[in-house]
């Protein structure tokens, strides 16, 4: 995405649809060590506003089903074998 001179970016339609962002929705950017997260700000009374990256991470903890794979198995599945880690 390109940032305009006014500091604006266009949120792709796929992301807007996935997050339920419609004209007039409030969004926020949360800085993390790896970049930034775009979050929809929910102004409901149930306190669901995400304050920072750690808050977001705590909310999604336990929501991923790895199918019983260990972390190492999942990383190999995700990235493939790393020949450079175990030279022969």
- Count of structural domains, the chain: 1
In a domain, 1, yes or no: no
Reduce the secondary structure of the chain to three states and give it as a string: CCCCCCCCCCCCHHHHHHHCCCCCCEEEEEEECCEEEEEEECCCCCCCCCCCHHHHHHHHCCCCCCCCCCHHHHHHHHHCCCHHHCCC
In a domain, 23, yes or no: yes
| More confident site: 9 or 53 | 9
- The pLDDT value recorded for residue 83 is 76
**Residues spanned by the domain of 63:** 13-85
- The pLDDT value recorded for residue 13 is 92
In a domain, 8, yes or no: no
Predicted TM-score (pTM) of the model is: 0.44
- The pLDDT value recorded for residue 47 is 54
- The pLDDT value recorded for residue 21 is 86
- Cα 77–chain centre separation: 20
In a domain, 35, yes or no: yes
pLDDT digits (tens, 9 = 90+) for 16-71: 888 888 888 888 888 888 888 888 887 655 556 666 778 778 888 888 788 888 98
């Amino acid at each position: 995405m390109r940032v305009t001179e006014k500091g604006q970016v266009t949120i792709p339609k796929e992301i807007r649809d996935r997050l339920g962002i419609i004209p007039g929705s409030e969004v926020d950017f949360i800085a993390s060590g790896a970049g930034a997260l775009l979050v929809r700000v929910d102004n409901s009374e149930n306190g669901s506003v995400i304050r920072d990256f750690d808050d977001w991470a705590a909310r999604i903890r336990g929501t991923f089903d790895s199918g019983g794979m260990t972390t190492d198995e999942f990383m190999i599945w995700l990235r493939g074998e790393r020949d450079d880690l175990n030279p022969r």
